[in-house]
Amino acid sequence: MSTGSRKPKITNKAKSKSSIKVKGSSPPSLSQEGDDSNDSLSDFLITKPKSGNMNLKKEYTRYCKLYSSEPLEFVSAPLEQATMCQASGNSDIGGVNIDLKGRGLRGVDCIALGKILASNASIHHLNLSDCLLLPQGFQALLDGVSKNTHLDVLELRGNNIQFANMLEPLGTMLKVNSNLKSLIMEWNQIGCIKDAFQVFCDGLSINSGLEYLDLRNNQISDECAIELATALKHNKIMRDLDLRWNSIGVKGARAFYDLLNINSTLTQVQLGGNFVPEEIVQHIDQILKHRNKQEEIVKDYSTRTTLLTRQLAKTEEEYQNEIKNIMSMFDSEEKEYRRVIEENQNQINRLSQERQEEIEKNNALRTDVNGLRKQLSDSLEEVETLKNSLSQKDDRLSELASSFKAQTGNLENSFEAKTQELQVLTDVLSQEKTSLLMKLKTTEAELQLKVGEVGQLKDTITALNTTSQQLQQQFDERLRQAKESWTGFQTEVESAERKEIQRLESQMKDMNVSLMEHLKVLENKKADAEEEVRRMKMILVTSKSETEEALTKLRAELSEEHNSTVKHHMEQITKLRQDNERLEIEVNRLESQTHKMEIENGKLSRQNDHLKQQLSQANEELSEAHASSQTVVTRTKTELKDTTERLSKEEETNRLLRTQLHDLQQQVATLSVKVSKLTQEKQADMDFWKLQIQRREDELHRLKSEDMRRAALLHEAFSVYMRSTAAATGLPIPCGDSANPKSKSVPEKKQKSARQHSEKAKEN
C-alpha cells in the first residue's frame, strides 16, 4: 500500500503544556485531529480507591539523583502541580492527570516515572504522546504500569513503537495489568514486524481490563488484522476498537466480520481508510449499530423492568398499607358501633330502670288512690248515716214540737200519755240503734266488695308487671340476637382477614413467576375486596337497621305506656278533685244545717225547759253525734289536704319524668344524627378507596400496555436482527478489485434474492 493513500498526520500546533484534569469534567479527546474530535474516554474511566498522598516531584527528583541525572523542569512542573492538586483535595477519588505530551523524555525520566507508578501512585491519566521514548526507558515505564492499580488511561501516540524490544514489554504489561481501561497508540508502527505484533496480540487476548484500544495509523496489514481478530475472539472485555488508516484489506475485514459473529462485547469497530469495500464497512457498521441498539433496548428493558418491579413492589406495599388502613378503619368503626350499642344498651337499661321506678310510683299512687277511695267511701257512708240520723232527729223534733204544742193545753191530763210517748220514743231509739247496726253490716259488706276490687286491681297490676317483664325479655332477646349477629359479623371479618392474608401470601410467592399472572391475581383480589366491602357494608346496614327498629319500637312502647299512665293519673286526679269539691260543698251544707238545727234546738230547749230532764238522754246522744260528725269532717278535711299535696307532688314528679323523656328523645335524635354522619363518612371513605383502587388499576393497565409495547419492540428488533444476520451470511465477500462492475453484479443479485427470501419468510 502506498503512503499517499493514507491519511496524512496532522501535527498539533497548540502549545504543549502540563494540564491537571479532574474526573467529572469533560474527558480529554483521544486524538488532536479535526475529524476525530468526537472521540471520548468518558465511558472507560473507572473510579479507583484513593491511596496515600505522595510528593510526585520529590520522588522524581530522588530517582533522578539516584541515577546521577538532573531532573528536568518541564517534567517536574506537571508532577508538582499534580502533587499540589492531590494535597489540596481538588482531585477526584480516581487520582490526578499528568500530561507530558511532547516533552522528549530521557531514559532516566521513564525509569523514574516507572518507579513512581510501581509505588502505586494515584495517577488516573498519563499522557506520553510524542515523547520519543527509548526502548530501555519504555520497558521500565511499562513495568511500573503493570504494578499500578490506579492508572486508567495511557496515551502513547507518536513514539515509533515497532520493534520487539518495545512490543514484548507492552504485551507483558497487558497480560499482567487488569486495571488499565484505555490504551491509545496512534501513529506508531506496531504492524511492521509480524512476530512482535503476535506478542502484542497474545497479551491482548489474555487481558481482562482494557475496554478501548486506539491503533490508528500503525501499518497493520491483513495478516496482522487476522492475528488481532483471533486474539480478540478470546477477549470478552474489549468494547471499542479503532483501526482506521491501516492496510487490513478484505481479508482483515472478513476476519473482523467473523469476529463479530463470535464476540458479542464489541460495540464499536472503526475500519475507515483500510482499502475495504464500502459495502463491507457499512455491513459491519450496521451489525454494530444493530448490536448497540439491541444492547440499548435490553438495557432500557432491564432498567424499565427494574423500575416496574420497584413500582410493583411499591404498589404492593401501598396496597398492603391500604388494606391495613381499611382494616384499621373497620376496627375503629367496629369500636364506634360497639360504643354506640353499649351507650344504647346503657340508655335502654336506664330507661327500663326509670320505667320500673315509674311503675313502682304508679303502684304506690294506685294504693294511695285506693286508700283515698276507701276513706272517701267510708266518709260518704258516715255522712249518709249522719244525714239519715239528722233527718230522723228532725222528724222526731218536729213530731215532738207538734206533740208539745198539742199537749201544752192538756199537759196535766195527758202526763201519763206523755210517759207512754216517751216509752215509745225509747223504743224508736232502740230501733234506730238496730238500724244503725244493720247499716254498719252493709258498710262492712261494701268494704269487702271494695277489697275484692282492690284484689282485681292487684291482679291487673301483676298482669302489667308480667307484660313489662315479657317486653323486657323480648328486648333482651333482641339485644342478644343483635350481639350474636355482631359476633358473627366479627368472626366473618376475622376469617375474611385470615383468608385475605393467606391469599396475599400465596400471591406474593407466585408474583415472581410471571408479571401477567400477578396482574390477573391483582384484578381478582380487587374484585374480592370490593365484594368483601359490599358484604360488610350490607351487614353493617342490616345490623344498624335492626337496632334502629328495635329502638323505635321500644321508644314507641315506652311513650305509649307512659302516656296511658299519665292520662290515667290525670283522670284520677280530676275525679278526686271533683269528689273533693263535692264533699266540701256537702260539708258546708251540713255545717249550715247543723247550725240551723242548733239554733232551733236552743229555741226548743228555752221553750221546753221542763222537758230537759226527760230529753237529757236524747240531747246527750245528739251532742255525741254532732261531735262525731265534727271529728269526721275535720279528719276528712285533713285527709283531703294531704291528698291534694300528694297529688301536687305526683304531678311534679310526672312533669320531671316528661322532661326526662324529652331529654332522652333528644339524645336518641342526636345519636341517630351521629350514626347518619358516621354512615356518610364511611360512604365517603369507601368512594375514596374505590377511586384509589381505580387509579391503581389504571396505572397497572398502563404499565401492562407499556410492557407489551416494549416486548413487541424487542421482538421486532430481534426479528430484524435475525433477518439481517441471515441476509448477511448468504452474502459472499468479493475477492477482486472493488472497481470491477462484474464482480459487484453477482453479489447484488444474491443480495436481492436473499432480500426476497427474507421477505417471503417474513410473510410466512
What are the grid coordinates assigned to 256, written together? 473482523
If phi > 0 it is left, if psi is from -120 to 50 it is alpha, else beta; for residue 70 that is beta
Helix spans in 730-740 (H): none
What's the confidence (pLDDT) of residue 327? 79
Q: How confident is the model at residue 143 (pLDDT cuts 50, 70, 90)?
A: very high
DSSP 610: G
* Inter-residue long-range contacts of 435-443, CB under 8 Å, 24+ positions, other chains counted: 436/385, 436/389, 439/381, 439/385, 439/388, 443/378, 443/381
**Looking at the predicted structure, is the pLDDT value of residue 474 above 80?**
no
Of the given ranges (201-205, 206-210, 461-465, 646-650), which has the lowest mean pLDDT? 461-465
What's the confidence (pLDDT) of residue 170? 93
> What is the distance between the alpha carbons of residues 13 and 24, in angstroms, rounded to a whole number?
27
Tens digits of residue pLDDT in 234-293: 898 999 999 999 999 999 999 998 898 888 889 999 999 998 888 888 888 888 888 888
pTM: 0.40
Q: Quick one: average pLDDT of 581-607?
A: 75
Length of the chain: 764
Whole-number percent of the chain with pLDDT over 70: 75
Highest mean predicted confidence (pLDDT) among 83-97, 171-185, 274-288, 516-530: 171-185
**Looking at the predicted structure, is the pLDDT value of residue 142 above 90?**
yes
Q: Quick one: average pLDDT of 653-671?
A: 79
* Inter-residue long-range contacts of 497-504, CB under 8 Å, 24+ positions, other chains counted: 497/327, 500/323, 500/528, 500/529, 500/532, 503/528, 504/320, 504/323
What's the confidence (pLDDT) of residue 244? 94
Of the two residues 720 and 489, the one the predictor is more confident about is 720
Q: How confident is the model at residue 627 (pLDDT cuts 50, 70, 90)?
A: confident
What's the confidence (pLDDT) of residue 619? 66
Q: How confident is the model at residue 537 (pLDDT cuts 50, 70, 90)?
A: low
**Looking at the predicted structure, is the pLDDT value of residue 295 above 60?**
yes
Tens digits of residue pLDDT in 386-442: 778 777 877 777 777 677 666 666 666 666 666 676 677 777 777 777 777 787 777
Average pLDDT for the chain: 76
What's the confidence (pLDDT) of residue 740? 43
Q: How does 177-208 read in b/e, with b if 16+ C-beta sit within 10 Å?
A: bebbbbbbbbbbebbebeebbbbbbbbbbebe
Residue 96 bridge partners (DSSP): 123
What's the confidence (pLDDT) of residue 335? 82
What's the confidence (pLDDT) of residue 681? 81
What are the grid coordinates assigned to 68, written together? 546521577
Q: Quick one: average pLDDT of 10-25?
A: 33
Of the given ranges (160-164, 554-558, 760-764), which has the lowest mean pLDDT? 760-764
Helix spans in 89-134 (H): 107-118
For the sheet with 212-214, list strands across it. 96-99, 123-127, 153-155, 182-184, 212-214, 240-242, 268-270
